[in-house]
Amino acid sequence: MTGFPRKAGFPPGVTVDVFAAAFEASPTPMVVTDPRRPDNPIIWSNAAFLTLTGYDRDELYGHNCRLLQGPLTDRATLDALRATTAQGGAFECELMNYRKDGTPFWNGMTISPVRDAAGEILYFFSAQADMTDKHRLEAALRDANGDLEREVGERTADLRAALAQKTALLHEVDHRVKNNLQVIASLMLLKARRTPVGEAREAVQAMADRIGALSTVHRMLYSAGDAAHFDLEAFTGELVADLTAGLAPDGPRVEIAAERLALPAAMAAPLALLLHELATNAVRHAFPGPEVRAGRVRVSARRCPEGMDLAVEDDGIGLAAAAACPDGFGRTLVAMVVRQLRGTLHWSDAGPGTRADIRIPLAGDRAP
């Protein structure tokens, strides 16, 4: 190991020649420079370093490592390297270097000072590695990621355009269904007016009201920004507003306590029928006489661990005092809709009045 002191504090029986032989046989490229000589020249390198750079020893020894630098060698990294080693520190970096034939390669290096017993720097030792394949792989990954991002962007744009077209189509369907239902409801109301007062007229009138509730559903879905969902709070408020618009000033007061909750659009029609039937029945049948007309009907809806709780409660005459089956079809319709939604229904006396409690599982909670 030319230039090294022969006594370096090795254990008995171990000499610098042993370490020199080990370093020479190492597959890791190694090089040693002497900062005490002018321009910190190379004084030793192993065979792996010669293979990495393409130089012979006589072409390296006595020269500074800058002979490996070229046009793409990063100057900022070189400045940091010189500043650190000038202060006696170790330095790690990956630097673009050039072989003897001009071929560029990424050189990963660790440079460490070698000090004597007094702490004076005698040499700089550098272990190196060819990192070209790593950088080539990183570049390929960047290109692949770039291609993937572009493809994802294009697919996303296509999906957004398709979603916009689907949303526009759904809105158009809701708009046309709403118009058709309004026409049907108007025809039924016209028929009701020409039907003699009695059970048949009331049945036609009630059916027209139910169709009107469904028309309201499609009007709200048409005006909503999200064609796949609707807001329960706004939905309930608009349904009840349509219901109370025709009430007499001294009629029952209808209160709403509905939470903001996004529900699938597929639930809109059955929920509209359900709320309309319960609220309408309460308004029409819980307060049959003038002495109890100024009552209260409360519609509430909230999220619960099992899904959603709906309740319609009045402070009218109650179940026991109601006329025999005045709303038998309404009760049947309510039960059918609750089953369709896979929910449960419970009627109870509210003392005073009547209360209907409904629990409906929501998407993710609903049984298969």
**For the chain, which residues make up each domain, given as ranges?**
16-130, 229-368
Q: Place 1 in a pLDDT band, splitting at 50, 70 and 90.
A: very low
pLDDT greater than 80 at residue 330: no
Reading across the β-sheet that carries 104-115, which strands appear in turn? 42-45, 30-33, 121-130, 104-115, 91-98
Q: What is the mean pLDDT of the chain?
A: 81
Rounded Cα distance between 236 and 244, Å, is 12
pLDDT greater than 60 at residue 164: yes
Per-state percent for the chain, helix, strand, coil, to nearest 5: 45, 20, 30
Q: Are 190 and 201 in contact (CB under 8 A)?
A: no
Q: Place 6 in a pLDDT band, splitting at 50, 70 and 90.
A: very low
Q: Place 326 in a pLDDT band, splitting at 50, 70 and 90.
A: very low
- Give Cα separations from 13 to 7, 10, 169, 209 (angstroms): 12, 8, 90, 107
Q: How many CA atoms lie within 13 A of 126 on its CB side?
A: 25
DSSP 61: B
Question: Are 16-130 and 229-368 the same fold in CATH?
Answer: no
Question: Hey, what are 229's tokens?
Answer: 């969902």
Write down the CATH superfamily of domain 16-130: PAS domain (3.30.450.20)
Whole-number pLDDT of residue 280: 82
- The residue among 101, 2, 96, 89 whose CA lies nearest residue 42 is 2
pLDDT greater than 60 at residue 365: no
- How much of the chain exceeds pLDDT 70, in percent? 79
Continuous H helices in the chain: 16-25, 47-53, 57-60, 75-86, 132-193, 199-223, 232-244, 268-285, 328-340
pLDDT greater than 70 at residue 14: no
pLDDT greater than 50 at residue 153: yes
- Which residues are CB-neighbours of 272 under 8 A, at least 6 positions away? 213, 214, 216, 217, 235, 239
Whole-number pLDDT of residue 154: 84
Question: Hey, what are 118's tokens?
Answer: 């007094």
Q: Say which residue the tokens 């370490």 belong to.
A: 19
- Least confident segment among 47-51, 119-123, 169-173, 248-252: 169-173
Rounded Cα distance between 2 and 367, Å, is 83
Q: Spell 29-52 as b/e; 16+ CB within 10 A means b.
A: bbbbbbbeeeebbbbbbbebbbeb
pLDDT greater than 50 at residue 368: no
Q: Say which residue the tokens 């009138």 belong to.
A: 205
Q: Place 323 in a pLDDT band, splitting at 50, 70 and 90.
A: low
pLDDT greater than 80 at residue 345: yes
Whole-model pTM? 0.47
Continuous H helices in 247-301: 268-285
Rounded Cα distance between 44 and 61, Å, is 7
Query: Is CATH 3.30.565.10 the classification given to domain 229-368?
Result: yes
Whole-number pLDDT of residue 237: 82
Phi/psi at 279 (nearest 5 deg)? -70, -40
Rounded Cα distance between 255 and 299, Å, is 6
Whole-number pLDDT of residue 80: 95
Whole-number pLDDT of residue 322: 58
